[in-house]
Amino acid sequence: MSDETVTPILQVEDLSVEFHTRNGVVKVLDRISFAVAPGESVAVVGESGSGKSVTAFALLGLLDPAARITGGKIVYRGRDLLALPERQRREVRGRELAMIFQSPRTSLSQVRTVGRHLTDVLARHHGLSGAKANARAAELLAQVRITDQERRLGAYPFELSGGMCQRVLIALALACAPSFLIADEPTTGLDVTTQAAIVELLADLCAERQMAMVFITHDLPLASTLANRLLVMHAGQLVEDAPTARLLARPRHPYSAKLLAAVPASAATLAA
């Protein structure tokens, strides 16, 4: 769906980021450019340290204080987020962009129930409270295919499996009805069956809500099951941006070929 006639919801142009460390300045993103169409799911793949998470944090405006954006644009629905005053930027972030991370268990507070997590967000973003907030929280759990919602609302994160915690985090992300979801390694650390279920859930939710998604992973077969387009990152550069089927059949960049060669044959067939 990288049809040039569609106006992208997100356009990243020549984005460069460096980190100021004790050992000097390290360039971690080097003129990254890509676009995402409304409702489109793309996957960013690349080995650990290639700059995937830094890209995600830059999109959200949540970079580490040691990071500096040295150039480029992040245009969201026609507005350059980097040129917006912080307050407006925060508004876009809160209302339209959502993110889910790796290690769902540690992203939730262990001393608050699932219901409390959800009703807090609903109060903050939608001014909902009491029975209305509880009803909406139960609805959100149903949307992420959690059954027996009343009981789950009263549960603490430590009482839930890793996959269930990730569903709760997805429900929290959906609470603001975002039009753009950034998922950074959301299934890392989960068992293979749970991974597949979470990926299927994310794909369904994107389709149901016409929500665009950037799915970040080091797992090429997993990325291939989800996205029509793959962005390959290597050492801070985006080295290939191609339709999934084409990239799997005929990778153009040597690093893409290397990533593909590292995938066990059975997994590659599965993804194709």
Site residues, ligand ADP (CB under 6 A): 19, 21, 26, 28, 46, 48-54, 64, 66
228 lies in the binding site for Mg ion (CB under 5 A): no
Closest CA relative to residue 168, chosen from 111, 114, 235, 101: 114
Q: Tell me the window of 18-26, 47-55, 109-117, 131-139 that interacts with Mg ion (CB under 5 A).
A: 47-55
Q: Closer CB to ligand ADP, residue 28 or residue 121?
A: 28
Residue 5 binds which of Mg ion, ligand ADP, none (CB < 5-8 A, kind-dependent): none
Q: Closer CB to ligand ADP, residue 18 or residue 40?
A: 18
Nearest-CB residue for Mg ion: 53
Q: Closer CB to ligand ADP, residue 100 or residue 141?
A: 100
Q: Closer CB to Mg ion, residue 10 or residue 183?
A: 183
Between residue 178 and residue 217, which ones bind Mg ion under the rule CB under 5 A?
Answer: none
Residue 46 binds which of ligand ADP, Mg ion, none (CB < 5-8 A, kind-dependent): ligand ADP
Shortest spacing between CB 21 and ligand ADP, in angstroms: 5
What are the φ and ψ backbone dihedral angles of 114, each rounded to 5 degrees?
A: -55, -45
Query: Token pair for residue 152?
Result: 């789950």
Rounded Cα–Cα distance for residues 254 and 256 (Å): 5
103 lies in the binding site for Mg ion (CB under 5 A): no
Q: Closer CB to Mg ion, residue 108 or residue 183?
A: 183
**Binding site residues, Mg ion, CB under 5 A:** 52-53
